[in-house]
Chains A and B, each alone.
Chain A
Amino acid sequence: MTLLELNGVTKFFGKLAALEEIDLTVDEGEVVGIVGPNGSGKTTLINVISGYYRPTSGTVFFNGDKISGLRPDQIASRGIVRTFQSNVLFEGATVLESMLIGSFLQYKTTDWQSFLETKTYKDDHERVVGKVIELLKQFEIFNDIFLPAAGLSHGYQRMLGIAMALIANPKVLLLDEPTTGMNHQEAMFVVENIKKIGEQGITVILIEHNMKVLLNIATRVVVLNFGNKIAEGKPQEVMSKPEVIDAYLGTETI
């Protein structure tokens, strides 16, 4: 079933086309990798899907509804949640606080119930805290919950970013280079977790430079170059296409 559909999405910054006429469909349960050299429009694509940018033209459909033009919070509440390329944190918050104040969409109760501190809210809050702890354990940052998030190492900050996206109850998870700056072991840990996320039925779209990672988890790879989609298909096939090797991998082979 098609979950996400991009229809001729174009994004201009001034006269520079960061994305040109991108068509893309993503089915439920897929793990789609987006690759491309620097400046090819990968992050812009994620920014357009998540509502951070409005596309100059073209539309994005989610579950058959048009979502391009909506605010980021509206898109997030529909179930498309993202992480950021750099580590974006809640300034001054500890790991636990970051997760709790980021779990806005995890709550099922209203603000009024929270204000009046009803029984339903207390139960709901307990459930949310349980979920937070579960996620922190899954990403192995549970031991550091009282540390300032800014004090975590780079790799763990990225784990926290993914955990924060997951607490927002995504149907589609957009990961912007989840393994940058990680050593092989850490990257493989993230890969295992992305696999788990996929197994839970969450559709994943990830930007990734690390080919080993993509070959490992992606069901499909999309290659961007200068804002255009130049190839799409199974990772192994795409990587052997001459134009992809030319644009992205240069003379190296994998």
Chain B
Amino acid sequence: MPYFDYKNFIPKSVAWFVAALLILLPLFTRNSITLSIFISSGVWAIAVMGFTLILRTGQFSMGQAAFMALGAYATAIFTLQSGIPFWPGFLLAGIVSGIIALLIGLVVLRVGGIYFSIITLALAEIIRIIAERWESVTHGVRGLRPPLPPTISLGGLEINFATSAIPYYYFMIILVVITGIVFWRLEHSRIGGTFSSMAANQILAEHQGIHLMKYRVIAFTVAGIFAGYAGAYYASFLSIITPQMFGLWQSIQIMMMSIVGGISSIVSGALIGATILYTLSIYLSRLPIYNIQYLLFGAAVVLVLLFLPKGTGLVDLWGKFWRKVFREPEEYEIPEDSEMATE
């Protein structure tokens, strides 16, 4: 699913407005559920960006959530068992998941296409089973309780992660911004063009001098690194990590968020898709019918694929709406033969 339209569909003014709103959000609401939804959406958005990046190289990873598990377990195990403080332990999350992604990538990315998808699916299951069975380290299905980030004192300001969700909220924003900048640059630099060319025609790209393996591994590793941070942060926020938290369903959820949000813009597509689908899943799970959210999720994906095909997703829908209403007066030009034109 190659996509070449590098235009930014979200106008700067709207983007700044939304950003300001998000930064000021804790002033309006102390409701921990609202904050929690935003924190979780941000975390999933980071994983979704990785998925979309891999998709841009023409590969379909079905095990993105496993890298979240790797990062989460890495932080938890390092801090709990080796006594490393939280922040260095958190830093290790991405390094561990990145290295493992690199090693896996070097082996499995030799095969592309459907084989790659199936291998990533299998690997994700293997990682989940290891987390379940390696009781001495991971505590099996009971899971681990990752430590909280320590309280930070900034001047007179006490930032306590234990008593409020607000520090988690702001740190999530920092994490999303850093990730967003990296993915934005990857998308809009020559590397993004290289990815697109591989997706558009692998054989031609190779004959134009592109080392397919190298760029696939770069995408897979970068996605792995940031998924690791997302997972570690999520586990710390929920203060629990179990093998089921990052299983097959979560990988599928990442896929759906990416497709619903749209792959035409890695960062905004992921943010829109993750926020909408995560919020939906929370509110839908309150419906009296058991597991109805899965059914409706599926319906959402089918609708998006039917009406917004070729990976355009909701980002483009928004872009079209915006341009229609505010940007394209030429669409409403008066025909020459109309009465108004002759007046």
Contact = CB atoms under 8 A, between A and B. Distances in A.
Interface of A: 50, 52, 71-74, 76-77, 81-82, 84, 88-94, 97, 100-105, 107, 111, 114-117, 121, 125, 164, 168
B193 A101 contact: yes
Given A88-B201, A90-B204, A101-B4, 12 more contacts: A50-B207, A52-B207, A89-B204, A90-B201, A91-B201, A92-B2, A101-B200, A103-B208, A105-B208, A111-B190, A115-B189, A168-B208
B4 A104 contact: no
Contact of A101 (B197, B203, B206): B197
Interface of B: 2-4, 185-186, 189-191, 193-194, 196-197, 200-201, 203-212, 310
A235 to B, nearest CB: 28
Nearest to B189: A114
Contact of A91 (B190, B200, B208): B200
Contacts of B203: 52, 72, 88
B2 A93 contact: yes
Contacts of B189: 111, 114-115, 117
Contact of B211 (A71, A100, A115): A71
Contacts of B207: 50, 52, 72-73, 76, 81-82
A231 B58 CA distance: 44
A168 B227 CA distance: 35
A91 B194 CA distance: 14
19 contacts: A52-B207, A73-B207, A74-B211, A76-B207, A77-B209, A88-B201, A90-B196, A90-B197, A92-B2, A93-B196, A101-B4, A114-B189, A115-B185, A116-B185, A117-B185, A117-B189, A121-B190, A125-B190, A168-B209
A208 B207 CA distance: 21
Contacts of B204: 84, 88-90, 102, 164
A71 B211 CA distance: 8
Contact of A90 (B2, B185, B206, B212): B2
Contacts of B209: 73, 76-77, 81, 104-105, 168
A115 B191 CA distance: 7
Contacts of B211: 71, 73-74
Nearest to A97: B4
A97 B204 CA distance: 14
A117 B190 CA distance: 10
A114 B191 contact: yes
A169 B198 CA distance: 19
A46 B2 CA distance: 28
Given A88-B204, A91-B2, A73 B191 contact: no
A71 B202 CA distance: 13
A115 B2 contact: no
B208 A102 contact: yes
Contacts of A115: 185-186, 189, 191
A102 B310 CA distance: 22
A104 to B, nearest CB: 5
A175 B207 CA distance: 13
Contact of A104 (B185, B186, B197, B310): B197
Contacts of B210: 73, 104
Contacts of B3: 92
Contacts of A114: 189-191
A244 B52 CA distance: 55
A52 B207 CA distance: 8
Contacts of B310: 92
Contacts of A74: 211
B194 A101 contact: yes
Q: Lowest 8 A-B CB distances belong to which pairs?
A: A90-B200, A101-B197, A76-B209, A105-B209, A114-B190, A114-B189, A101-B193, A72-B206
Nearest to B186: A115
A91 B2 CA distance: 7
Given A101-B194, A111-B191, A93 B200 contact: yes
Contacts of A50: 207
B156 to A, nearest CB: 37
A133 to B, nearest CB: 17
Contact of B190 (A76, A88, A93, A107): A107
Contacts of A89: 201, 204
Contacts of A103: 208
Nearest to A92: B2
A116 to B, nearest CB: 8
A81 B208 CA distance: 7
Contacts of B194: 101, 104
A72 B203 CA distance: 9
Nearest to B213: A71
Given A93-B2, A105-B208, A115-B186, A100 B201 contact: no
A230 to B, nearest CB: 29
Contacts of A116: 185
Given A94-B4, A101-B193, A117-B189, A73 B201 contact: no
